[in-house]
Amino acid sequence: MGRRIVKYPTDLWAYKELLERVQPAVVVETGSAEGGSAAWFADYAEVVSIDPVQPEKRDKRVHWITGSSTDSDVIARVYERVRGRSCLVTLDSDHDARHVEAELEAYAPLVTPGSYLVVEDTAVDVYEIDSELYPNGGPGVAVERFLERDNHFSPDRTCERFMLGMNPGGWLRRI
């Protein structure tokens, strides 16, 4: 579709299976990057994509929100857009554990039972990638802390069965 997608093909395949099984009305994505994944998700559901800097090429099927995913006004706009519909959330913006924890607190309530909250790039912690960039930990650390506090989600390891992906432990199914 003319846009770069910064995701492993195996992760896209896992998303494809989830989206076909869950059939959410809305996918909320934090971290638009070049807009490729938002355009890809739009083949399956309405998409709300959030980023401080939006891509130059914007898919018309996507509702773009410019701003920080943890800003209260942005969060309110997302909630207004989703408003009681089935939802899958994918978090892929700032990978600092504190930021990811704030996103988890903000967006986890949108995820409907049986759907998913996907925390991207947990491999940063699992494999200690770029650890100097995240002295407080990255997405994997945030997931561990979140799961200690919230019993509404459970990691779904079947999404990792292709054994090559960037989200180990980050595929969280809403119970």
Q: CA-CA distance, 21 to 124, in Å (whole number)?
A: 28
Within-domain flag for 3: no
| pLDDT score recorded for residue 127 | 80
Q: Which domain holds residue 64?
A: 9-174
Within-domain flag for 2: no
Q: Domain of 135: which CATH number?
A: 3.40.50.150
More confident residue, 128 or 91: 91
* 3 has a pLDDT exceeding 90: no
pLDDT, tens digit, 9 for 90 and up, residues 6-21: 899 999 999 999 999 9
Specify the number of domains making up the chain: 1
Alpha helices in 9-150 (DSSP H): 9-22, 36-41, 72-82, 97-107, 123-126, 139-149
Within-domain flag for 4: no
